[in-house]
Amino acid sequence: MRGLLLAVLALSVFGCASVKKVESGTNRLGERFTISIEGAWNQLDFPGVKPAQVWTMEGVTVDEFLIFNGIRDGEVMNSKSGNGKQQDFVFRKSMPTEEIVSLFEGVLSRDNAVFKLIKIEPYPFGGKKGFRFEYERIRKTDNVQLRGVGFGAVDGGDLFALLYHAPRLTFFPRHQARVEAIAATAVIR
């Protein structure tokens, strides 16, 4: 009995998730997408997060830096979590910017969070013609009020984007400048 339980323990701790260090410097996120970071980050290597990569500074329940590395035409933007009844959000290469931002809004409201777009503007991202947007969210699961910023561009029919959100108290202001700096270093090849 005890052996069985220890096996369960091992499985659940080692099988589920891990956190990897992302070192300071230039990081190649994929074939075509590179960013440079100053100071290390933590990457949450959880099996359920795809298609995004998730990085954090303060922890899984506090802040998220989401990296979308070349989402293809027809690809689902949200992870396959939830009860299966919820709507999936699919990227189309024909989408104009305003629809891509609505797509992110959908992805970020999938947990019933209240989402409000604060600003959207053109932004040269990764050397391409892109966009930048700011938003607010209220997580309904725990009532935490978040602020966020996102950057993105479509190139060769693929979507590249970085999103960061954290509690509007303390954490978003603390890390916003770092995130803006990272976005400025992005290169799409």
Partner 1 sequence: MKRRTFLAGATAWGLGLVSRPGRTADDLGYSAPPRFTRPETSGEEGGLWALMDREERNLRRSPLIVRDGDLQSYVQDIACRLGSDHCPDIRVTLVRTPLFNASMAPNGMMQVWTGLLLRVENEAQLAAVLGHEIGHYLQKHSVERLRDIKSKSAIGQVFGLFGLAGAVGQLAVAASAYAYGRQHETEADRIGAQLMHRAGYQVGEAAKIWSNLLAESQAAEGKGANGSLLFATHPAPPERRAMLEDIARSLPDGVTGEEAFGRHVQRYLDEWLNDEIKRGQYAESLVLTTRHIARKFALETMHYHRGEIYRLRGRDGDLDLALGDYRNAIENDKPYPLALRGIGLIQRQRGQRKEAIEMLSRYLELAPAAPDALFIQSYIAELNS
Partner 2 sequence: MNTLTETRASVCSLLRLTALVTALSLSSIAFAAASLNLAPGFSSLEKGATVVIMPPDVELFSISGGGVSEPKADWTETATGYIINELRRKSDVLGMKNVALSEKDADDLAEINTLHAAVAQSIALHHFQGGNFSLPTKGGQLDWSLGEAVGPIHQTSGADYALFVWIRDSYASAERKAAMVALAMLGVGIPGGFQVGYASLVNLHTGQILWFNRLIRGTGDLRTATDAAETVQELLSQFPRSQ
The correct pick among 26, 28, 38, 82 for binding partner 2 (CB under 8 A) is 82
Phi and psi (nearest 5°) for 141? Answer: -65, -35
Indicate the residue among 14 and 121 with the shorter CB distance to partner 2: 14
Look at residue 17 and give the partner it binds from partner 2, partner 1, none, a contact being a CB closer than 5 to 8 Å depending on partner kind: partner 2
Under the binding rule (CB under 8 A), the answer on residue 85 touching partner 2 is no
Which of 38, 60, 98, 114: binder of partner 2 (CB under 8 A)? 60
Please report, for residues 13, 75, 116, 121, 162, the alpha-carbon distance to residue 134 in angstroms, rounded to integers and kept in the order given: 36, 24, 9, 9, 12
| Nearest-approach distance from CB 40 to partner 2, in angstroms | 5
Which of 11, 118 has the CB closer to partner 2? 11
CB of 123 to partner 2, least distance (A): 22
Q: Which does 121 bind (CB under 5 to 8 A by kind): partner 2, partner 1, none?
A: partner 1
123 neighbors 131 (Cβ within 8 angstroms):
yes
Give me the sheet containing 33-37, strands edge to edge: 25-28, 33-37, 187-188
> Does residue 114 belong to the site contacting partner 2 (CB under 8 A)?
no
Question: Using CB under 8 A as the criterion, which residues of the chain lie in contact with partner 2 when the complex forms?
Answer: 1-2, 4-6, 8-9, 12-14, 16-21, 39-42, 44, 46-49, 52, 54, 56-62, 64, 66, 78-79, 81-82, 107-108, 110-111, 113, 137, 139, 141-146, 165, 167, 169-171, 174
